[in-house]
Structure 1
């Protein structure tokens, strides 16, 4: 018998009016080969709980039970049921709410309006409609709305991605909708939020920390801060070793700084032979066909040997911003097209990783600095500093070198061993960074830095530069093929 249901549906609709089909399904229920979900709705899918059948077929169920209903309020945001398995729809004038196994449908008076998007036999409320619906503040509305903080975060994101003019246009559309559909009270709340975000109205009405930061002129990336907090928690609990600095004489410090600058640039694609790098740093050579590359390595060397970039880590958020701009300006000073020492003015990315929006750089770095100072271990503070700079990517270029200089500055100030990232370790360095950035898993990142710091502290920086180079060669540091070579310990 043709059960007249979509082929992909696990639901069978057999209302009493269709006597033959209804009788058939009643017999199947009695025989234990079908289950009744509600009057006239059955399923023969008995291998999983009935609640699961309903939840994964919620749209088919509503299209049959409430055709033309509009996903409204919080359900418009979720595009269906929320985590509590509640879906809110606007349908008719007096249609009752209803419950099914694993699903509650709250029915509000109403129906489709201009701007609502068709969704099969249902509709999804327009942006202006659900924003105003979710700002409703009457008795019993909490079950179908969202906290004001969530609306503030949504509008803050809209401002970031669409710009001020488009946010104003959204407010204008909301005003028109409110006047046409009796949502003037909700529009006043929306207007206060938008005005506060645009700094044209008082921010006292805001509740979310992110929106308040925007209103104060220090907006930040909330998703980025979640990563910072994940790393903060892991570092706070990590028992990091206290690996003291071994390069204590002027000659040892110089040798260390030279190879730190050499490897830090090589890992970014600024590749020289060691002899070429020595000519640049110690004999003032300039490679005519590589003027920018020449100064990249010289600027990194200067930062690794000179205070405040080598050993005076900032003590306040604003000093942190100034320090970063200063060191990036030094390292990248010959690349004028990259605006050295200036915050980026365009969003940058590496592969699939899109970094923090330019408007959010300052605020995100300031929030990050609070996480740095909140850590008790000096090594933990250094590890946090490097990730913050790498994740924000605040400059057009030189971000990796700037991040590693921040790491080593914090370590040196605390009397701890600086870290070198040799060429052979490039992928082993980048992969944990990506894992933390993309999956929020910090353990490999922490282990990687501890391993590098342990390895770097085993080098004999006090020997001649030629002998140190030979030691590094024995460690495979200059190799590039990870399939054939691995980083080995100096002794």
Structure 2
């Protein structure tokens, strides 16, 4: 919570003293105030837990003057998922509030390296927080201290920041100065070995967590993303298979599916042509002179999905996975040298509020993520996993969505299941499902969205352009997604089924 927001809401909270005790009690009886805890009142009609969160530092500063936020709470300067805020203060009794419990312990007061918070409260510096957590006898998600894995994850996050090596060296120097004051000399030795592992100047085996060990071995990965992939795998493992097999007698109906797959996959990424223009590019090599790169994007995608062997080729292991991604990217974007075809990105990328995996973390995160596909047998489950893995890492400067869908459909074809196209009108549904999975682990929506798209694809007659475009027009597939949203138009199955 920042100082500005705290000061803005400070008038919501009132504390009792000998002078106002009677007046506050009278105001409560008249309904003008509400009691939050003993001696703490509010004028607000909002949920008490929300009032407490807005005014947390005012409450801590009044009830625990000069307290230092440390131990588990040192990492974020905020209550943990259980509502605990751990502080150092001479007061011995916890203070239970709506949504938050402030849990004190005795210890050293503010040190020179600690950070001032509003209302006279202090936040433990990273070096103090790490020393006090690493020096604890026990830790855990329900205790007042971080586990060793959580402390090591903190070190990795510090190492991953800009000038991370310098930051860690400075942190170690400051930790040396305060370790004795805190009675954490033994914890300093432990911290030194972990910082050395993160700086690749020590033995990475000193680390307990995979995250710090991988960083120390020069293979840093995005821990948050890998945890998200693990959660998705767990959800997909519990998913009941709903096979949608490709039938031999339907081969004729799928004759032009690769063309429409390449067309839509590019269109929803902004490479927009009419269907006639795209058909001329793909089938007649009629490349518009003023849009050569865009045309070759469609041609490259078409080559990947039209090749009977390539479109069903799936990687066997992490190394093969990385090699397959790079090779397909080269084929797809070879006409765009600025997109670094066949190479991972060399700069950070983001879409809206979503910041993707940092360039230095890309390859190791892909490898770790691919290992999460082990044990997924259902082709549809593997397809969803592979699409989300590539989309979430966003390993390339350009072409990430198209490559993600190629990898998804390869898993389906390898399992003789119907491939998936994302029609123009379905673009916002697709992006919303991805965003929900990224920010809130809402994997159910992602699975349902792709399942609908697969069933839709199975029902369209792709035997020739006339049949396909009749179905596409009848189902609103070609409508502009924003316009369709405004008019309540939705993608529907051919024949209204």
- The TM tier, using the shorter chain, reads 0.7 to 0.9
SS in 2 for 1:152: helix
Counterpart in the other structure of 1:375: 376
Counterpart in the other structure of 1:17: none
Q: Distance in 1 between matches of 2:298 and 2:207?
A: 47
In structure 2, the CA distance between the partners of 1:13 and 1:56, relative to structure 1 (3 Å rule), is farther
SS in 2 for 1:373: coil
Q: Which runs of structure 2 are paired with 1:242-281 in the superposition (5 Å)?
A: 242-246=243-247, 254-281=255-282
Counterpart in the other structure of 2:194: 193
In structure 2, the CA distance between the partners of 1:174 and 1:299, relative to structure 1 (3 Å rule), is same
Q: Does 1:74 align with 2:75?
A: no
Counterpart in the other structure of 2:6: none
Q: Distance in 2 between matches of 1:35 and 1:59?
A: 18
Q: Distance in 2 between matches of 1:457 and 1:391?
A: 27
SS in 2 for 1:269: coil
SS in 2 for 1:217: coil
SS in 2 for 1:106: strand
SS in 1 for 2:13: coil
User: Aligned residues, how many?
Assistant: 475
SS in 2 for 1:229: helix
Counterpart in the other structure of 2:476: 476
RMSD: 3.6
Task: Decide which structure has the larger Cα Rg and report it.
Answer: 1
Q: Distance in 1 between matches of 2:469 and 2:420?
A: 16
In structure 2, the CA distance between the partners of 1:352 and 1:139, relative to structure 1 (3 Å rule), is closer
For structure 2, list consecutive stretches of 5 or more residues without a partner in the other structure.
Answer: 1-9
Q: Name which of structure 1's ranges 69-78 and 111-120 shifts more when overlaid on structure 2.
A: 69-78
Counterpart in the other structure of 2:493: 489
> Taking structure 1 as the reference length, what is the TM-score of the superposition?
0.84
Q: Distance in 2 between matches of 1:436 and 1:85?
A: 25
Counterpart in the other structure of 1:3: none
Q: Name which of structure 1's ranges 228-237 and 78-87 shifts more when overlaid on structure 2.
A: 78-87
Q: Distance in 2 between matches of 1:294 and 1:36?
A: 65
Contact 2:379 2:411 in 1 (8 A): yes
In structure 2, the CA distance between the partners of 1:228 and 1:62, relative to structure 1 (3 Å rule), is closer
Counterpart in the other structure of 1:345: 346
Counterpart in the other structure of 1:429: 430
SS in 2 for 1:415: coil
Tell me by how many angstroms 1:275 deviates.
1.9
In structure 2, the CA distance between the partners of 1:198 and 1:21, relative to structure 1 (3 Å rule), is closer
Contact 1:11 1:57 in 2 (8 A): no
Q: Distance in 1 between matches of 2:134 and 2:410?
A: 48
Contact 1:160 1:359 in 2 (8 A): no
Tell me by how many angstroms 1:453 deviates.
1.2
Counterpart in the other structure of 1:133: 132
Q: Distance in 1 between matches of 2:26 and 2:457?
A: 77
In structure 2, the CA distance between the partners of 1:12 and 1:319, relative to structure 1 (3 Å rule), is same
For structure 1, list consecutive stretches of 5 or more residues without a partner in the other structure.
Answer: 1-5, 15-19
Contact 2:13 2:41 in 1 (8 A): no
Q: Distance in 2 between matches of 1:414 and 1:346?
A: 36
Counterpart in the other structure of 2:111: 113
Counterpart in the other structure of 1:157: 157
In structure 2, the CA distance between the partners of 1:466 and 1:155, relative to structure 1 (3 Å rule), is same
Q: Distance in 1 between matches of 2:349 and 2:185?
A: 41
In structure 2, the CA distance between the partners of 1:43 and 1:393, relative to structure 1 (3 Å rule), is closer
Contact 2:13 2:42 in 1 (8 A): no
Q: Distance in 2 between matches of 1:380 and 1:239?
A: 10
